Amino acid sequence: MAANIIDGKAFAATVREKVAGHVARLKEEHGITPGLAVVLVGEDPASQVYVRSKGKQTVEVGMNSYEHKLDAATSEADLLAVVDQLNNDPNVHGILVQLPLPGHLNEDLIINSIAPEKDVDGFHISNVGLLGTGQKSMVPCTPLGCLMMLRDYHGSLSGMDAVVIGRSNIVGKPMAQLLLGDSCTVTIAHSRTKDLPEVVRRADIVVAAVGRPEMVPGDWIKEGATVIDVGINRIERDGKNKLVGDVDFASCAERAGAITPVPGGVGPMTIACLLANTVTACCRANGLAEPEGLTA
Residue 156 counted as an annotated binding residue = no
Bridge-based pairing state of the strands 233-237 and 240-244: antiparallel
Q: Which of 119, 121, 182, 246 is catalytic?
A: 121
Mark whether 98 is an active-site residue. Answer: yes
Return the closest-CA partner of residue 39 out of 75, 74, 83: 83
- Is the C-alpha dihedral spanning 178, 179, 183, 185 positive or negative? negative
**Site of interaction with ligand GUN (CB under 6 A):** 96-99, 121, 141
Q: Which of 18, 57, 98, 248 is catalytic?
A: 98
- The Cα–Cα gap between 58 and 291 comes to 17
With respect to ligand GUN, which residue has the nearer C-beta, 26 or 146? 146
H-run or E-run covering 36: strand 35-41
Residue 168 counted as an annotated binding residue = yes
Do 10 and 264 contact (CB within 8 A), yes or no?
Answer: no
Q: Which of 54, 118, 173, 222 is catalytic?
A: 54
With respect to ligand GUN, which residue has the nearer C-beta, 80 or 99? 99
Residue nearest to ligand GUN (CB): 99
Mark whether 118 is an active-site residue. Answer: no
With respect to ligand GUN, which residue has the nearer C-beta, 141 or 225? 141
Please report how close the Cβ of residue 270 comes to ligand GUN at its closest, in angstroms. Answer: 6
205: DSSP letter: E
Residue 95 counted as an annotated binding residue = no
Q: Cite the DSSP H helix spans in the chain.
A: 8-30, 45-60, 76-87, 107-111, 125-132, 141-154, 172-181, 196-201, 249-255, 266-285
Please report how close the Cβ of residue 271 comes to ligand GUN at its closest, in angstroms. Answer: 9
Please report how close the Cβ of residue 99 comes to ligand GUN at its closest, in angstroms. Answer: 4
Please report how close the Cβ of residue 30 comes to ligand GUN at its closest, in angstroms. Answer: 28
H-run or E-run covering 258: strand 258-259
With respect to ligand GUN, which residue has the nearer C-beta, 22 or 124? 124
Residue list for the binding site for NADP(+): 166-168, 232
Catalytic residues: 54, 98, 121
